[in-house]
């Protein structure tokens, strides 16, 4: 599904509405997703697009709520990408809609974080050739042996396609950094760059782990706080490889 998924910025030519059975399967999948940090409380709700500020032609929006602990944004990205890949397997188009708003700012004491807009889309609307997508050259996002995974994981989605990740392979360990290009943010408000890019790192970590497992590379994962924004490279995670 990494090769198939794409961001639907507009949901044109929808393939009808999602039926109750599909929503039940989605809710069941959501109940089984694995968090990056199980100590962070989260809740996920599926609501009609009309109950949000999203006006992209979606049928529903998946709303993510979390307690605000260290790493909570990264955790939401990790959870949400599992759901996005599942949606692709069901021919349900998706869009991480960062600027989306909802009147439900809190649920059970948990704060709203972000939403994913969704709608059933024809199979032919999904990505046919992932490698045509615009991404940074491999040398800009990965250092060292690529392990057969680097050229795949670099196609992870990110806010405004900022691709804020950099991975160093030191032989027996991978160090994943959140990379912040000084003075460069695209169309994002300056005060929101770090917010969205921390979610992006969670997305990247999940895809990295999928790729490592596909290559039968086992690992022990260590997470870092990644709470500072005063440096170009901020370490987010380390994977000690067991081979």
Give yes or no: residues 177 and 230 share one domain: yes
Give yes or no: residues 141 and 113 share one domain: no
Does residue 147 register a pLDDT over 60?
yes
For residue 192, give the CATH number of its domain: 3.40.109.30
Give yes or no: residues 112 and 142 share one domain: no
Top pLDDT among 107 and 192 is at: 107
pLDDT of residue 10: 95
pLDDT of residue 52: 97
Give yes or no: residues 222 and 141 share one domain: yes
Output 147-154 pairs: Cβ under 8 A, ≥24 positions apart.
147/212, 147/215, 147/217, 148/211, 148/215, 149/208, 149/211, 149/212, 149/214, 149/215, 149/217, 152/2, 152/207, 152/211, 153/204, 153/207, 153/208, 153/211
Does 200 map to a domain? Answer: yes
Cα–Cα dist 12/215, whole Å: 37
pLDDT digits (tens, 9 = 90+) for 93-129: 999 999 999 999 999 999 999 999 999 999 999 999 9
**Residue 202 is encoded by which pair of tokens?**
């969670």
Q: How many domains does the chain have?
A: 2
Give yes or no: residues 39 and 101 share one domain: yes
Domain boundary among 94, 125, 156: 125
Give yes or no: residues 114 and 213 share one domain: no
Domain boundary among 125, 157, 185: 125
For residue 113, give the CATH number of its domain: 3.40.109.10
Give yes or no: residues 103 and 182 share one domain: no
pLDDT of residue 184: 54
Residue 90: domain span = 20-125
Does 7 map to a domain? Answer: no
Give yes or no: residues 107 and 162 share one domain: no
Q: What is the pTM of this model?
A: 0.95
Does 174 map to a domain? Answer: yes
């Amino acid at each position: 599904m990494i090769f198939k998924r794409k961001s639907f910025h507009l949901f044109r030519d929808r393939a009808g509405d999602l039926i109750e059975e599909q929503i039940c399967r989605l809710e069941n999948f959501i109940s089984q997703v694995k968090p990056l940090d199980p100590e962070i409380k989260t809740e996920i709700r599926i609501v009609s697009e009309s109950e949000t500020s999203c006006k992209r032609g979606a049928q529903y929006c998946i709303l993510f709520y979390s307690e605000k602990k260290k790493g909570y944004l990264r955790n939401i990205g990790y959870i949400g990408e599992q759901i996005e890949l599942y949606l692709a397997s069901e021919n349900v188009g998706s869009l991480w809609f960062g600027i989306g708003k909802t009147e439900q700012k809190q649920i059970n004491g948990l704060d709203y974080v972000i939403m994913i807009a969704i709608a059933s889309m024809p199979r032919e609307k999904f990505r046919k050739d992932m490698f045509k997508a615009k991404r940074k050259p491999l040398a800009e996002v990965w250092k060292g042996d690529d392990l057969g995974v680097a050229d795949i994981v670099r196609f992870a989605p990110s806010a405004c396609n900022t691709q804020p990740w950099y991975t160093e392979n030191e032989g027996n360990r991978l160090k994943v950094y959140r990379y912040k290009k000084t003075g460069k943010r695209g169309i994002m408000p300056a005060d929101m760059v770090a917010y969205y890019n921390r979610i992006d790192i969670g997305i990247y970590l999940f895809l990295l782990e999928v790729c490592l497992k596909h290559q039968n590379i086992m690992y022990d994962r260590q997470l870092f706080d990644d709470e500072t924004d005063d440096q170009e490279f901020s370490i987010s995670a380390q994977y000690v490889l067991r081979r």
